[in-house]
Amino acid sequence: MISVKNLKKSFGDLEVLRDINVEIEEKEVVVVIGPSGSGKSTFIRCLNRIEDITGGHVYIEGTDISQRKVNINKVRTDVGMVFQQFNLFPHKTVMENIMLSPMVVRKWKKKDAEEKALSLLRKVGLEDKAGVYPESLSGGQKQRVAIARALCMEPKVMLFDEPTSALDPEMVGEVLEVMKQLANEGMTMIVVTHEMGFAREVGDRVLFMDGGYIVEEAKPEDIFNNPKEERTKAFLSKVL
């Protein structure tokens, strides 16, 4: 479903991603962990080209999005993304946030978008917040709305870029719960996170990144119980 080949990314002279290779299957939940500065956020942001790709290839369902002439907007309709800072549109209500893109990009009728948005709000447990502006929501609620907004485009894969890192501890659970539910429904997911519990419980595979490389990849139980690489061991000993 997603295939990354020799992906490189530099910011000026700074090489952030050096040589990333990975295959991600449909319905797989891949969790990316690693120390800060390891390139994991940059990596996930290259998967929908929010970050320009310096070298190598990223295939989304066979389309090589590293090619400039690719209609990236079309590809992005199938790739949902959830950000650390939520990035809800402050001038729009919760409902309008969710309905905007389906109506503008997918050209849905208002009624259809409304129906879908409401059902998604129900799913993330925020039906009663439909008419309010994001400002009045807690961090956890904002992130759940952001998830609903991404889901309303009916994406084939969801990217989560540290979705709980900006949350107060007591709100992390409600967001992880929604993500867990999504994983159980068979959504293909790539999750950059520091939540090792989530990685262990929900992940099908864990990628450990450091210094712009994927240093180790394995099933959660293997990587957490028997890390093979020294750097993985060192990192896990600090966070577990």
Chain contacts with another protein (rule: CB under 8 A): 48, 50, 73-74, 76-77, 79-81, 83, 85, 87-91, 93, 95, 100-101, 104-106, 128-133, 135, 146, 149-150, 153
Residue 240 C-beta: closest distance to another protein, Å: 31
DSSP 117: H
As a whole number of angstroms, the distance between CA 126 and CA 147 comes to 11
CB of 39 to another protein, least distance (A): 18
CB of 14 to another protein, least distance (A): 18
DSSP character string of 182-230: HHHTT-EEEEE-S-HHHHHHH-SEEEEEETTEEEEEE-HHHHHHS--SH
Q: How far is the CB of 15 from another protein (least distance, A)?
A: 22
Neighbours of 186 (CB within 10 A): 11
- Nearer Cβ to another protein (1/130): 130
- Parallel, antiparallel, or unpaired: how do β-strands 29-33 and 188-192 relate? parallel
In whole angstroms, the minimum distance from the beta carbon of 137 to another protein comes to: 12
* The two structure tokens encoding residue 164: 């709980």
- For another protein, the closer CB: 105 or 239: 105
Nearer to another protein, 30 or 152 (CB): 152
168, two tokens:
């107060």
- Which residue, 73 or 237, is less far from another protein as judged by CB? 73
Contact 218, 207 (CB under 8 A): no
Q: Among positive and negative, which fits the CA dihedral 170, 200, 183, 212?
A: positive
Tokens of 58: 């990223």
| Minimum separation from the CB atom of position 37 to another protein (A) | 20
Closer CB to another protein, 108 or 208, in the complex: 108
- Output 7 or 88, the one with its CB closest to another protein: 88
In angstroms and rounded to an integer, the radius of gyration of the C-alpha atoms of the chain is 18
